[in-house]
Amino acid sequence: MFTGIIQTIGQIERITPMGEDLKLNIACADLDMQDVKTGDSIAVNGVCLTAISVSKSHFEAHVSKETLSVTVGLGCTQPVNLEKALRLSDRLGGHLVSGHVDGVGKVVLFEPLGDCWKLDIRAPHAIAKYIAIKGSIGVNGVSLTVNSINHDVFSINLIPHTIKNTTLQFLKTDSLVNLEVDQVARYVERMTLWAEEND
C-alpha cells in the first residue's frame, strides 16, 4: 500500500527487453534506500513494482506485458514519481493507494490559475462513475482531490508544491496519465450489488 505522497522524482535510465516484458533500471535521486530490500514494492508513476535488485542510488524492476498493456509511462526513459511502500508507523498524508492502475486518462486542459495550475483529465468511461467531487484520486501516483466532474472529465487544482515535487509539472494537453480511483468507491459498489443480488 501507498499514500500518494510522492517522495522523489526518479529517472528511468535503462530499459532492457525480456521477451514481451521489460526490465527497468531506475535512478532514485534522493530517495532513502537504506530500508529497501529485494522483493519490496515501490510505486513508479502510480504503478506498484517489485524491486528485483537494489543499491543506494538505483533499483531494478521487472514489468510484465500485462502491466505495460494497462499503464503508461514505463516504456521509455523519462522522469517518474517514486514512493516506497507504506509502513504501519507512517503518517497517511494522502489516501490509501494500492498501485493497481484502474485506467489511463488523457489531459484535456493544463493551465495556470493564479499561483496554482488547473488540470482537467478525461477518464475512461468505465471508471468515471467512481470519481466524486471532493473525493480522492491517484494521478501518476499522486494523491489529489477532485474539485469538479462533468461526465467523464474531472478537474483538479495543483498547488506549487505539487508541481515542483512531482512529474505532473511535465504534463501538457493530450498527455496520458495513470489513474487509480479511491478504493472506497469500489467497495461501496460491490456491497450495493451484493445487497441487490441477495435481497
Quick: pLDDT tens for 3-39. 899 999 999 999 999 999 999 999 999 999 999 999 9
pTM, rounded to two decimals? 0.92
Question: Can you tell me the distance from the alpha carbon of 44 to that of 190, in angstroms, rounded to the nearest whole number?
Answer: 28
The second-level CATH assignment, the architecture, of 103-186 is: Beta Barrel (2.40)
Task: Note the pLDDT tens digit of each residue in 57-101.
Answer: 999 999 999 999 999 999 999 999 999 998 766 666 778 888 999
pLDDT per residue as tens digits for the range 124-167: 999 999 999 999 999 999 999 999 999 999 999 999 999 999 99
Conformational region of residue 161, where left means phi above 0, alpha means psi within -120 to 50, and beta covers everything else: alpha
CB of 81 within 8 A of CB of 29? no
Domain 8-84 classification at class level: mainly beta
Is the pLDDT at 190 greater than 90? The verdict is: no
Residues of CATH 2.40.30.20 domain(s) within the chain?
8-84, 103-186
pLDDT at 90: 67
* Residue of 190 and 97 predicted with greater confidence: 97
Q: What rounded mean pLDDT belongs to the chain?
A: 93
